[in-house]
Amino acid sequence: MSTVQIGDRKFVKYISETQIREAVDKVAAQVNQEYRNDVPIILVVLNGSIIFGADLMKKLEFPCRLSCVKLSSYEGVKTTSTVKNLIGLSESLEGQRVLVVEDIIDTGTTYAHLLPMLMQAGAKDVKIATLTFKPDSYKKPYPIDFVGMEIPNKFIVGCGMDYNGFGRNLRDIYQVVEE
């Protein structure tokens, strides 16, 4: 089994690049169905979602606009209950449909912070697409609309996701080895 060392942690290969492509295709098919008659704003949550967002955008079959926000709720391998707004909205959402693109949803803290902000900005509706979802960790009442794959509550890196800023460039997704 393939492993990588990132900082003080070892990670083992968990999800292959092929499985990631299949998950992107699955989400794209659902999103294409939902927005085939609309022109939504695709809102990518930086930094982690940049790779999934780019792969997803290439498969969308409808006109859309792209925007980004940068939020952070992780420290090391742990999610915190605090979300930091690092880069905010840069365009009007008034009357617009918005698709939030996330790399991972675990507790839902980031989405719970972002959703009211988008609705207050005048979004017509907000849906969310995520590459990975940890249903056992999710604690919020909001539906997760488009899910590439469900995973257990283990810390992962690769395909945009990081450990202390490193590992985003890995083509596969790796799971932390518990010591």
Catalytic positions, written as ranges: 106
| CA 174 – CA 87 distance, rounded (Å) | 28
DSSP string spanning 121-161? TT-SEEEEEEEEE-TTT---SS---EEEEE--S--EEBTTB
* Pairing mode, strands 41-46 and 65-75: parallel
| CA 114 – CA 108 distance, rounded (Å) | 10
| CA 163 – CA 124 distance, rounded (Å) | 35
- How far CA 150 is from CA of 61, 96, 140, in Å, comes to 25, 29, 16
- With contact defined as beta carbons under 8 Å apart, do 100 and 113 qualify? no
Max CA pair span of the chain? 50
Torsion of CA 118, 120, 126, 132, to 10 degrees: 40
